[in-house]
Structure formats: structure tokens, C-alpha cells
A and B are shown apart, each in its own frame.
Chain A
Amino acid sequence: MQKNEVQQGLKVRISYDFTMRGIIIATEHRDGPNYVVVEWDDDHRVEVKNITNLVAIAESDGSLEKSFEELVDTIGEQIKAHIKAAQQAILLATDLADTHGIPFFTEVSEIGQPYIPYSFRDKWADLDPNYVSDLTEIEASELARNGGWSTSQIC
């Protein structure tokens, strides 16, 4: 964020964590000209931040949300179809193993977990993470981490 963008009441987020969102409540601070005071949305904590670590959040007209919702509906269904096909393939493998008593080792297994695409931040970081969470049923804290498969649910 540039100095000329800064104004009281502006909604911002941390540049490296799109789930950390808040509002600028003071545009000046004794730490220097590039420092502002931000009140975070989630816990109302007040913190002094350098503006180079902040990104302004544009007021939503709803179009971005609509685009994302349409993608979750269409692409999400295609993704589910592939997951279902993968489940069926795993089931065939375990059925064979059960029938013949043959143990096997596999690189794909029935450990459920969320997948956060590496492209997610580039494409959808302007969306409210709670909104994304509601649509995808993935916790906002999960969305904040780096992309790819997360860790096992049993760990």
C-alpha cells in the first residue's frame, strides 16, 4: 500500500495473509510516516503496522463473490466427480486385497484433508475468507496457509 492510499476507515488486509483483515483507525504513528494503526476484525486487537505490509480491500459490488460461487458450483462438481472416481478405484483395490488377503502399500489413501490450490491467493485473495469458508466448508485458517495438501486429520 502507498502512503497516498492511506485513510482512516479504510479496510485493509495483511499482504501475506489474506485472512488477517481490519480497518485503519489512525493514519499516523510516532514510529514513522509509513506506520498506521489497524484494528483487526477477528479479535478487535489494535496494532501498529507498516503500510508496506498492508493491502487495501476494495469495496465489494458482489461480482467477485458471484464469480467464485459459480466456479464452486461448476468446477466444484467436476472436482467431486474425480474424487468419487478415485474413491471407487481405491474401493476396487481394497476389495481385491480383502478377497485374497493381500496387503499393499499405496500413495493415495483414505485420509481426508483439504486441498488449497497454489493459485488461490492470486485469484481470490480479495474475497472475505469467511465467505470462502462458508462456500467451500474449509476453515478460514486453512485457507491462509501455503497451497497444496495440508496435513493429516489424524495428526
Chain B
Amino acid sequence: MSMFDEDDKTSNPELEAEFQELVDSIGAEIEVHLAAASKELAKAVALSEKHGVPFTASLSPLSQPYVPASFSGSKFSKLDNDKVSEIADVWGDYLFDGDGWLHSSVC
């Protein structure tokens, strides 16, 4: 049975609460880093616009989810996908797609 098999999912209020707590605390830290990345990217764009100099960046403002490899092996992967999606604000289907960066939202 796959760890993502819906039959394997159970409602577990305690585990959900633990996951929620982690998303609230660690998620807030992640948000701080993401905001810093957005700010730095905006600075690069502002410089580019001011001087008219094009550039290539290894990252860009194309939204996408990040699903850590450690998620699929964690106890939280046993949670209902909809619940994980609701708490982490990552669409449930993406949780099946693999590890790391998934794909661009423009595709």
C-alpha cells in the first residue's frame, strides 16, 4: 500500500494539531526567508530597470510549491491530503508529485 494511498489515511486530531503547530512556527520562519528572497529579487529588478541592463537569474517570480523529500517519509504523510493541503496551503495533488520543486505555475 502506498503511503499516499487514501485508504491509508486516517483522521488523527493529535497529529493534525502537531502538524498545524509546526506549520505555524516553522512556516512563519520559512515565510520570512521567502519574503527576503522576494525583496532581493525586487532590488535586482529595480536596478535593471533603472539602468536598462538585462540579466538572467537562477530564480524568478514563478510561483510553485516546494514539497520536501522528508515529507513523504514523515508521520505527517499519514494525514489526510486535504488536511495537509488546508494547513500548509499546498494543493493536495502536489503532495503526490514528488520531492523538491515541482513545476512552474505558468505550465
Contact = CB atoms under 8 A, between A and B. Distances in A.
Interface centre among B38, B57, B70, B106 (most CB of A within 10 A): B57
Given A83-B57, A103-B71, A113-B57, A93 B47 contact: no
B51 A123 contact: yes
Contacts of A116: 54
Interface residues of B, number: 57
B22 A136 contact: no
Interface in A72-120: 72, 75-76, 78-80, 82-83, 85-87, 89-90, 92-94, 96-120
Interface residues of A, number: 57
Given A107-B63, A115-B45, A154-B103, A98 B70 contact: yes
A125 to B, nearest CB: 9
A84 to B, nearest CB: 8
Interface string B20-39: 00110011011001101110
Contact of B27 (A102, A118, A138): A102
Nearest to B65: A105
A155 interface: yes
Interface of A: 68, 71-72, 75-76, 78-80, 82-83, 85-87, 89-90, 92-94, 96-120, 122-124, 132, 136-138, 142-143, 149, 151-152, 154-155
